[in-house]
Amino acid sequence: MSQPESTRASQRRSVIKAAAGVSLLQMVPPFIITARAADKVKIGLDNPLTGTFAAVGKNELIGCQHALEQINAKGGILGRQVELLVEDSTSGDAGTAVQKARKLIERDKVDFLLGNVNSALALAMAQVSNEKGVLHVVPGGHTDAITGASCHWNVFRICNTTQTEANAVTPSLIKNGGKKWYYITPDYAFGHTLQAGLEKACAKAGGTKVGGDLTPLGTTDFSSYLIKAQAAKPDVIILLPQGDDMINVIKQAVQFGLDKRFYIAGAQQELEAMEGLPPDARIGTWVVEWYWNQPHVPHVAEFVAEIKKKTGRVPTERTWFGYAATWTCALAANGAKTLDAQKMAKFLQGYHLPPEVALMPDGAFFRAGQNQLIPNLYVSKAQAKGPAGPDDLFKVTEVVKGVDVAGTLEETGCKMTWPA
């Protein structure tokens, strides 16, 4: 899944300086600048800015930047200002993601590591962060193993596991679509575990798999897969690609008229994908992990207004992933009163995010012994345009409590071990 050479050539490293008064620092002697820069707390983000996942990666970055501004305005971390160092991991090259993670930790001496959107890259980065003993927060890589069979004491995750997503949406798909499912699945860690989770949840509800295909990351032509799906005569065609791939597969399903003959659905869906589709292709039933239109939830309207002021667009779930991940770093350090990774990780066991960070009806907390955030999930139907305006592209039909669908700690397969 290596990126083309042109993409490699465009990789760049940017440092986003968020400390207050940066312009003033440029007016004082160089030795003072160096001293102050060395005193900053550093957060490293190793995430896609190019390739299939560029749009969602950039929205996670926006969330990180917004959180950083708030953190610094409130005194920073342990009284020190914070800066964000950003690396483009690419969308699918694990070697690049690992190289960038090592650079951030070993050369730039970051105190925290964030990333990755791509589950396979997040798993590879977790090996590095664990080896180096750095607190690592995964904003948006969903495969179960990150906080399951491959869990580490230092690695926390904001987004849901794929099994949790599957458990949340399956009852609605069985009830409204039917019991015979055909899968079109991206061929990497996220897709494999998401399909496995849906198969497990579907079978438990009396459903069956009638076929499926694995598709390479970056697929643009899904016609052969859609023809095979149609021939299998399922009740439901499950679409699991993400990023640009999701946009392509839905567009082509509608061009083939499959939405008129089959129930189109899946698990995880992104506002970024809906925005990239023509109105008539905004279809299907999905899980949305955070949504901007929550009029009765405290602090959400303020968060939405602040992001819109910066970007001109409403925040997406990816914006919230980055926001919550960055705030988790500050909350862990200020709560534990140290930058010692093990002490911060201990502090976060069972920790409930404050309402102004959780931004959902029932809050969200990190399950002790797993480091997985347990939030609400939103079962939703895509729509061309909702009553709240042109950005209202999902109609939430059910808010599912994460505690009801996350399964038990034993079922996750996480056997947490801590350093002596």
Closest alpha carbon to 227 in 267, 255, 206: 255
> Do 364 and 314 share a structural domain?
yes
Report pTM. Answer: 0.90
pLDDT at 28 over 90: no
Backbone angles phi, psi at 362, to 5 degrees: -110, 15
CB-based burial, 248-270: b 16+ in 10 Å, e otherwise: bbbbbbbebebbeebbbbbbbbb
- 14 in a domain, yes or no? yes
| Domain range enclosing 227 | 163-288
Considering the domain architecture, whether residues 220 and 170 belong to the same structural domain is answered as yes
Do 153 and 9 share a structural domain? yes
Backbone angles phi, psi at 358, to 5 degrees: -65, -45
Structural domains of the chain, count: 2
- Give 202-214 pLDDT, tens digit per residue: 999 999 999 999 9
Calpha distance 383→381 (Å, rounded): 6
Structural contact between residues 161 and 372, judged by C-beta atoms closer than 8 angstroms: yes
Strand partners, 285: 265, 381
Q: What are the tokens at 190?
A: 């996220």
Can you spell out the DSSP letters for 256-288?
TTGGGTSEEEEEE--HHHHHTS-GGG---EEEE
Q: Is the pLDDT of residue 395 over 60?
A: yes
Task: Give me the mean pLDDT over the 260-270 stretch.
Answer: 97
Helix axis angle, 94-102 to 119-132, nearest 10°: 30
Structural domain includes residue 405: no
Domain boundary residue among 267, 288, 309?
288
- Domain CATH code at residue 227: 3.40.50.2300
Q: How far apart are CA 98 and CA 47, in angstroms?
A: 11
Of 21-35, 85-99, 184-198, the one with minimum mean pLDDT is 21-35
The answer to whether the beta carbons of residues 186 and 159 sit under 8 Å apart is: no
Q: What would the pLDDT profile of 130-183 be if each residue is shown by its tens digit?
A: 999 999 999 999 999 999 999 999 999 999 999 999 999 999 999 999 999 999
In angstroms, what CA-CA distances link 6 with 12, 49, 90?
12, 14, 12
- Which pLDDT does position 38 carry in this prediction? 55
Q: Same domain, yes or no, for 33 and 125?
A: yes
pLDDT at 122 exceeding the cut of 90: yes
Eight-state DSSP code of residue 81: -
In a domain, 388, yes or no: no
pLDDT digits (tens, 9 = 90+) for 282-306: 999 999 999 999 999 999 999 999 9
Which DSSP string do the residues of 209-239 spell out, in sequence order? Answer: EEEEEEE-TT----HHHHHHHHHT--SEEEE
